Amino acid sequence: MENKCVILIDNELPLGVIANTATILGITLGRNNDKLVGANTIDANNVKHAGIVYIPVPILKSTKEKLQELRRTLTQEKYNDVEVVEFTDLAQQCKTYEDYIKKSKKITTDDLTYLGFGLYGSKKEINKLTGSLPLLR
């Protein structure tokens, strides 16, 4: 089975928030899945370079409404094998992780605004979910 990884971001966000969202989603996807990041390499000067991703990770353009709809879609049992990483307005607004944990317990899923998602799973499933979305440029 061939896998695919994508990042979807609300393209109406300010550029700095888009960059921050992509960074956070990418780091979390890499941490959660060792199949995404390759081994360190050494160049001809014997300098070590950190491993990078094995596969392309396109960043796709979405909207706030499409991200909310995607969140609902991803709760369907047929998408249980898709790894989902999300970044929300709540997470973006919190100054500390402890604050994020505390505030998360007081808000419902439907009250969150999704800034972006990172998805990893079978190419077939990821394409079903995101195939119509253009690249964010």
Beta strand pairing call for 41-42 and 48-49: antiparallel
Does some domain include residue 102?
yes
Does some domain include residue 136?
no
Does some domain include residue 85?
yes
Domain count, the chain: 1
- pTM for the complete prediction? 0.90
Does some domain include residue 137?
no
- Residues forming beta bridges with residue 85, ordered by sequence position: 118
Does some domain include residue 31?
yes
Residues 6+ apart with CB under 8 A from 25: 7, 85, 86, 87, 116, 117, 118
Range of the domain at 27: 3-130
Phi, psi of 54 (to 5 degrees): -75, -35
83-to-93, 95, 118 alpha-carbon distances in Å? 24, 26, 8
Does some domain include residue 135?
no
The tens place of each residue's pLDDT in the chain, 137 residues long, gives: 699 999 999 999 999 999 999 999 999 998 888 788 889 999 999 999 999 998 899 999 999 999 999 999 999 999 999 999 999 999 999 999 999 999 999 999 889 999 999 999 999 999 999 988 999 99
- Domain containing 50 — which CATH number? 3.40.1490.10
Does some domain include residue 109?
yes
Does some domain include residue 33?
yes
Q: Is 11 left (phi over 0), alpha (psi -120 to 50) or beta?
A: alpha
**Residue owning tokens 């440029």:** 137
